[in-house]
């Protein structure tokens, strides 16, 4: 569990002036990683670090020999088209590069002269998925989401008895994960109309989003070994925003007995920026389990996890309909919550995933599951916000929504803020629904 160090000092300012604005997602205390190139170019994709409205091009850093020692080796490993080689190096290398970048980007640093030519404006780039994602697992860590969705699918039996014992998850589809900007045709499939005995085939009528965090595995484990809960976070590189698009009508018909399949595997969208666990250290909070609930089995229990295992990451979802886009109106906020409400922590997800000897690999992605807070207004899906499609939401322009319509774009944002710490952000993840293929 990362301790606070000089890179978290809220007083640090950068010679990149845009990084010093109070509302900036990417101040010098953040330093998240992405893979990018100049938009529309044939350049090779390479790793970069956000600072204000700029990107430190790590391939240029390597070519110019800006750093020495472990930080130089780390920058070199992050200068290719995926961050997997960098992720594989582990926490000491990640920290060494973060510290070197923090020092070089500080106001007054003599490194400004050599680093300034390595900056690329964010407004001029395009991003790609930052790692080769070998495997993707989606968890279900919000008990508020699990209970409200369970009530819609099984009114008499909302929360199944395993929920409070097992960090529930399913193995998802890695090939359809794309970076922010993804668009996809409305999925088509089998659904069972209310009261019908046989299914119909056609476009989903209940297309939804899920507000989630993605967890990128840094270092993996050998097959047959396990990652203990107190080692788990050392294996985690960082977090992104994740939209787990979900076709609720397909899901309701197919999910028993083996879980989601075509209702989820058509698209998943992630933010380009990965915020490291080290950057998130100031926003750790206590993790608690209600006294009346089952306490975790020993392999999911740890003092460190109880003391600091949760993270206060604010999450917000907004919608931009085609009509709003044409009128130049800003996306409308739908809900806001925090990851601190999760029933299971990242360390528990990693420990559980590997306790049977399953091998995680660098670049594997874990979804947190839909993060819904304790009140109905904090729900992370339309399924919950509209009570199963029964209560439409009225948008500021007068349009209504139960589920997503063609042309709708969903925007998710994340950030951390508290007194005494610099505010850091995740940027955003945007994805858009296209008409179904005929």
**Catalytic residue from among 8, 132, 144, 145:** 145
Sole binder of Mn ion in the list 244, 278, 384, 408 (CB under 5 A) = 244
Interface of this chain with Mn ion, residues 379 to 418, rule: CB under 5 A: none
Least separation in angstroms between CB 13 and Mn ion: 39
User: Can you tell me the distance from the alpha carbon of 367 to that of 346, in angstroms, rounded to the nearest whole number?
Assistant: 10
User: Shortest distance, CB of residue 139 to Mn ion, whole angstroms?
Assistant: 8
* Beta carbon of residue 109, minimum distance to Mn ion (angstroms, whole number): 42
How crowded is residue 258: how many other Cβ atoms within 10 Å of its Cβ? 8
How many CB atoms lie under 10 A from the CB of residue 22? 8
Encoded one letter per residue, x for contact with Mn ion by CB under 5 A and - for no contact, window 81-120 reads ----------------------------------------
Report how far residue 427's alpha carbon sits from residue 48's, in angstroms, rounded to the nearest whole number.
15
Q: Looking at beta carbons only, is 50 or 385 nearer to Mn ion?
A: 385
Mapped to the 3 state alphabet, what secondary structure does the chain carry? Answer: CCCCCHHHCCCCCECCHHHHCCCCCCCCCCCCEEEEEECCCCCCCEEEEEECCEEEEHHHHHHHCCCCHHHHHHHHHCCCCCCHHHHHHCHHHHHHHHHHHHHHHECCCCCHHHHHHHEEEHHHEEEECCCCCCCEEEECCCHHHHHHHHHHHCCCCCCCCCCCCCCCEEECCCCCEEECCEEEECCEEEECCCCCCCCEEEECCCEECCEEEEEEECCCCCCCCCCCCCCHHHHEEEEEEEECCEEHHHHHHHCCCCCCCCCCCCCEEECCCEEECCCCHHHEECCCCCCCCCCCCHHHCCHHHHHHCEECCEEEEEEECHHHHHCCCCCEEEEEEEHHHCCCCHHHHHHHHHCCCCCCCCCCEEECCCCCCCCHHHCCCHHHHCCCCCCCEECCCCCEECCCCCCCEEEEEEEECCCCCCCEEEEEEEEEEECCCC
C-alpha 75/C-alpha 32 separation (Å) is: 13
Give Cα 200 to chain centroid, integer Å: 34
The nearer residue to Mn ion, 54 or 263, going by C-beta atoms, is 263
Cβ-contact 378, 372 below 8 angstroms:
yes
One of 57, 208, 210, 320 touching Mn ion (CB under 5 A)? 210
Least separation in angstroms between CB 26 and Mn ion: 27
Q: Which stretch binds Mn ion (CB under 5 A): 66-74, 110-118, 199-207, 210-218?
A: 210-218
Q: Which stretch binds Mn ion (CB under 5 A): 115-123, 137-145, 176-184, 414-422?
A: 137-145
- By CB under 5 A, residue 138 contacts Mn ion: yes
Residue 33 or 403 having the CB closest to Mn ion = 403
Q: Distance (Å, rounded) from C-alpha 416 to C-alpha 26?
A: 11
Task: Tell me the window of 5-13, 240-248, 250-258, 411-419 that interacts with Mn ion (CB under 5 A).
Answer: 240-248
For residue 145, indicate whether it is catalytic.
yes
Report the residue number, 29 or 269, with the smaller CB distance to Mn ion: 269
CB of 368 to Mn ion, least distance (A): 8
CB of residue 177 to Mn ion, shortest distance in Å: 12
Q: How far is the CB of 401 from Mn ion (least distance, A)?
A: 20
- Nearest residue to Mn ion by CB is 244
Number of residues that bind Mn ion (CB under 5 A): 3
Q: Does 249 sit near Mn ion (CB under 5 A)?
A: no
Placement of tokens 């395993």 in the chain: 162
**Closer CB to Mn ion, 244 or 364, in the complex:** 244
Nearer to Mn ion, 20 or 265 (CB): 265
Which of 60/317 has CB closer to Mn ion?
A: 317
Q: Which is nearer to Mn ion, 210 or 378 (CB)?
A: 210
CB of 270 to Mn ion, least distance (A): 12
Binding stretches for Mn ion (CB under 5 A)? 138, 210, 244
Show which residues are catalytic. 145
């Amino acid at each position: 569990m990362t301790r606070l160090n000089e890179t978290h000092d809220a007083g640090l300012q950068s010679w990149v002036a845009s990084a010093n604005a109070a509302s900036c997602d990417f101040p010098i205390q953040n330093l998240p990683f992405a893979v990018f190139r100049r938009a529309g170019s044939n350049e090779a994709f390479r790793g970069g670090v956000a600072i204000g409205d700029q990107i430190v091009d790590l391939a240029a850093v390597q070519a110019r020999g800006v750093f020495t020692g472990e930080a130089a080796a780390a920058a070199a490993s992050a200068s290719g088209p995926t961050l997997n080689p960098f992720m594989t190096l582990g926490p000491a290398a990640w920290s060494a590069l973060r510290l070197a970048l923090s020092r070089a980007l500080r106001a007054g640093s003599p490194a400004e002269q050599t680093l300034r030519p390595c900056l690329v404006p964010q407004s001029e780039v395009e991003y790609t998925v930052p790692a080769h994602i070998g495997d993707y697992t989606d968890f279900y860590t919000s008990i508020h989401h699990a209970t409200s969705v369970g009530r819609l699918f099984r009114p008499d039996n909302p929360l199944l008895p395993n929920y409070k014992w097992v960090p529930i998850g399913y193995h998802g589809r890695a090939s359809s994960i794309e970076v922010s900007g993804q668009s996809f045709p409305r999925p088509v499939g089998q659904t069972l109309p209310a009261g019908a005995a046989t299914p119909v085939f056609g476009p989903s009528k209940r297309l939804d989003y899920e507000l989630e965090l993605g967890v990128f595995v840094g270092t993996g484990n050998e097959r047959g070994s396990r990652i203990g809960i107190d080692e788990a976070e050392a294996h985690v590189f960082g977090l992104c925003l994740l939209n787990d698009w979900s076709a609720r009508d397909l899901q309701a018909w197919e999910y028993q007995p083996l879980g989601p399949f075509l209702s989820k595997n058509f698209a998943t969208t992630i933010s380009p920026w990965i915020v490291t666990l080290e950057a998130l250290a100031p926003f750790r909070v206590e993790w608690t389990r209600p006294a009346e609930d089952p306490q975790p089995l020993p392999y999911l229990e740890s003092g460190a996890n109880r003391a600091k295992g949760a993270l206060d990451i604010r999450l917000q979802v907004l919608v931009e309909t085609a009509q709003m886009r044409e009128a130049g109106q800003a996306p409308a906020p739908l809900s806001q919550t925090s990851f601190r409400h999760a029933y299971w922590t990242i360390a528990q997800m990693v420990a559980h995933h590997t306790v049977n000897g399953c091998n995680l690999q660098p670049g594997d992605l874990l979804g947190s599951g839909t993060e819904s807070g304790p009140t109905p207004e904090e729900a992370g899906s339309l399924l919950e916000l509209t009570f199963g499609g029964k209560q439409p939401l009225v948008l500021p322009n007068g349009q209504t929504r139960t589920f997503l319509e063609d042309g709708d774009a969903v925007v998710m944002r994340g950030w951390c803020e508290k007194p005494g710490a610099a505010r850091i952000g995740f940027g955003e993840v945007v994805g858009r629904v296209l008409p179904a293929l005929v």
